[in-house]
Chain A
Amino acid sequence: MAAARATGGGSTAGRLAGLAGLAALPAVVLGIFFVLPVSGMVARGLVDDGALDLAGVLEVLGRPRTGRVLWFTVWSSAVATTVAVALGLPAAYALYRLRWPGRRVVRACLLVPFVLPTVVVGVAFRQLLGEAGPLGFLGLDGTARAILAGLVFFNVAVVIRGVGAAWESLDARPGEAAAALGASPGHVFRTVTWPQLRPAVVSSASVVFLFCATAFGVVLTLGGLRYASVETEIYLLTVQRLDLQAAAALSIVQLLAVTALLLLAARLRAVPDPTVARRSVPPRRPRRTDVVPLAVTGLLLAFVALPVAALVTGSLQPDGPDGGWSLEAYRALDGRGTAPGQGGTALVVPVTEALVTSLRTAVDATWMALLLGGLLALLLTRRSRSRTERRVRSVLDGLFMLPLGVSAVTLGFGFLITLDEPPLDLRDSPLLIPLAQALVALPLVVRTLVPVLGGVDDRLRQAAQSLGAGPVRTLVTVDLPVAWRPLLAAGGFAFAVSLGEFGATSFLARPDDPTLPVVIFRLIGRPGPLNDEMAMAASVVLAGTTALVMLLVERLRVPSVGAL
């Protein structure tokens, strides 16, 4: 606290000390749970027999297959991002600028895919696209287009949420003025709306690109064997081949590419002065000219609903499509799956117990993400008084976005090879999973809080301080009243992300205490009457819980949710 108190003082050194004080906890956590594991993993690949072996890394990068993998990653992510933005923009408009019945529910529904376990969605997608599926005639099964569809399915929510929130708080008057002066709607968009919207679009697009480039489950389950992305290749090289050198080489490429992308995005984003008060414009009724965005939204809803509907029907037809409807699979959720014979079971714990574990884990992940994200957001939004200070802030900002762009495999393996000795023997800590999930959710939390805290006039804080309020008091009286809704919204996001997180959890989960996505994965991997239907029913429960959380977040009506 002493360090934080120094922020009140005027000296640059004092302010930098204040910065360091706020940054200490997040930096330590990031250092231990991100930098250490990743560098440990990369070092394993670079050092051969005690000597640095860069020639080996260059050899890996020169392989034709590496080239193909890199190319596929870049173009599939670029196309998926373009499509997600093209569909997300009109939907964001329809969902945040127009007022029509049910839009909150639709918003919440469109956010659900983002947190569904990829394995389940993969199977649902394949059930639709497979030869015997309702969309089998499209011939998409196993193609790159299926992968693209999957990537868009998962990520369009990011665009809608990010751009929608920015659009909602956009001042409509300049546009109306331009229209009154005779500008066509297209012209208004190009000259007035787009420049104001661009930071949010760029920021969402860069996040979507990151998610696409590092998507693991989607590429593995939907495209399968013909296509490999950097992420699946790292998995293959690490797990199947134990070729750590090649895996490290690809991890380094991935890290560099992500860093470059973040730098580029930061430059393009060029946020306008954050202290300019944002106005919440009441949405208006749709006009005839709004038919296109509304139609796109409807299309998008159908696209997102299809795989989910396949899950729901699957869970309600335990005896296959011809066997009629029943709730049997849902009733079986308090059990542990089946194996014929001597009353065996597929799981160690009932599905309902796994749900409870998931919820408890999510509670922990949420407070961790809020604590770390809150500190970071405070840090990033305090007004910079010198160039050094600004630079330190922007470096920190980028640093905490990096976990978005690193392979879960690298991180998972890294955890196990670096956090294995006292005082950091954390392999068995019950806090490991929530912490990993909190790190996954951290960028979302930070991006939700930063615009809001950034919008608080610093003069208010100065006034409070000059009246004798300490830093804590200032925080409670000035920042909290503005920030509590976004804080809750960020908590909701973190909670939902944690509920659906599978990548890191599958590496770290204790077998006798699995989370719901892990249990779903186990059920779907085992034959037995009702097991796959139970997996689908459990997925529906998971999706429903997520939708509920998202709906609550929607009710908070967070005015501006910045980049995400």
Chain B
Amino acid sequence: MRRTTVPALLTCALALSSCSLVGTGDDEAADRPTGDGTTEAGGPVVLVTHDSFSLPKKLIRAFEAETGYELELRANGDAGSMTSQLVLNVDNPLGDVAFGVDNTFAGRALEAGVFAPYRGEWPAGVEEYALPGDDEGVLTPVDNGDVCVNVDTAWFDEEGLEPPQTLEDLTDPAYEDLFVTSGATTSSPGFAFLLATIAAYGDDWPSYWEDLLDNGAKVVPGWEDAYFVDFTAGGGGARPIVLSYDSSPAFTTTDDGEDTTTAALLDTCFEQVEYVGVLAGAENPAGAQAVVDWMLTPEVQAALPDSMYVFPVADGAGLPEAWAEFAPRPEQPLAVDAAEIDENRDDWLTEWQDIVSR
């Protein structure tokens, strides 16, 4: 028995080795467009992104076929982690172009000189999302979304209770023990919500947070904990008010698709904009610029909601039906200047952590 087992196992091992990554080599080379007549443009262009990046493969292939560049993607954790890595590697960039730095982290990247100036053709509507304080023109807006408090309208209907409207309402005893949010130090929407309260209350924000916690607000580590575990409409939790996004109600449609069972409170929203930029010291700056332009094409803009759950910045990019119908946007989202965020981020987070863990 032992005599046959060893050879059999060795055979298995050999068979397995053929399905390892090493065995595959670079068979993608065959798919690559080879010199399809477009000028001298070409070669690999490395796009650094956060790990939520996602676009249809078809679009990426079309980009490669049209421009002659090969797009290589490199993920680097979440937006914060990616920005930190870009800053750390400023003298030896991780790639040619970076997508996913948002307005809560942009100041840090700008100050460190991570990006090189580039401004292509901006379709109508993009300008209004330009980063305040970006005087050299290094960042191009690609998408935006708002972090907003969401309510389970079905739950409130059933209870015969009027849902809250404003940040102030959340400290009203009528809504005691009903709100769950994710933490500012552990999640990016959580940090955006802290910024929303800072935008609304200025220097008084700590006392607002004390009131919020006194009223039984629950703080959990991540968005997924808050939404899928504690929110009544997410996974059968116990709290009908949750921190999420303005697009979230488009995901809670009824079975017939006629209505949605949740709503975003449009007076509580903090706007997040994601940018793309050419990295300073890029090996393939021409390719990097082509990627920046590509992100603003109608095809990519239209693919954003479905692929990355965010709104396009270009006018007329078109939205999925459910989004257009059930995800109204705030007219005046709360905002804090990127430079101010950068200056105070540490102090705010430290103070917030003190309040929450008191």
Contacts and interface: CB of A to CB of B under 8 A. Distances in A.
A132 B16 contact: no
A101 to B, nearest CB: 24
Contacts of B346: 241, 243
B309 A527 contact: yes
Contacts of B108: 242
A62 interface: no
A527 B85 contact: no
Contacts of A528: 251
B227 A527 contact: yes
Name the residue in A342, A345, A518, A529 with the highest tally of chain B Cβ atoms < 10 Å from its Cβ.
A342
A123 B229 contact: yes
A131 B52 contact: no
A532 B228 contact: yes
Contacts, number: 207
B320 A340 contact: yes
A247 to B, nearest CB: 10
B51 A320 contact: no
Name the residue in B20, B49, B77, B223 with the highest tally of chain A Cβ atoms < 10 Å from its Cβ.
B20
Contacts of B92: 420-421
A380 to B, nearest CB: 24
B306 A44 contact: no
Contacts of A132: 230, 232, 236-238
A192 interface: no
Interface residues of B, number: 81
A344 B306 contact: yes
B53 A130 contact: no
B312 interface: no
Contacts of A239: 77-78, 80-81, 84
Interface string A511-542: 11000001001101111110010000000000
A363 interface: yes
A322 to B, nearest CB: 8
Interface stretch (A84-92, A219-227, A461-469): A219-227
A397 interface: no
B322 interface: yes
B239 A131 contact: yes
B73 interface: yes
Interface string A137-173: 0000010000000000000000000000000000000
Contacts of B186: 220, 224-225, 236
Contact of A360 (B21, B73, B250): B21
A431 B22 contact: yes
B87 interface: yes
A346 B221 CA distance: 22
Contacts of B19: 359-360, 363
A15 B53 CA distance: 53
B127 to A, nearest CB: 26
Interface in B51-86: 51-57, 60, 72-78, 80-81, 84-85
A416 B84 contact: no
Interface stretch (A290-298, A327-335, A502-510): A502-510
A545 interface: no
Contacts of A430: 21-22
Interface stretch (B116-124, B264-272, B349-357): B349-357
A411 to B, nearest CB: 13
B321 interface: yes
Nearest to B71: A512
Interface string B303-341: 101110100000000011111000000000000000000
Contacts of B224: 119, 123, 524-525, 532
25 contacts: A123-B225, A131-B238, A132-B236, A133-B229, A136-B238, A225-B356, A241-B345, A321-B236, A340-B320, A341-B305, A341-B323, A345-B56, A348-B57, A360-B19, A413-B85, A416-B94, A427-B74, A484-B9, A507-B77, A509-B51, A509-B75, A511-B73, A522-B54, A525-B224, A532-B235
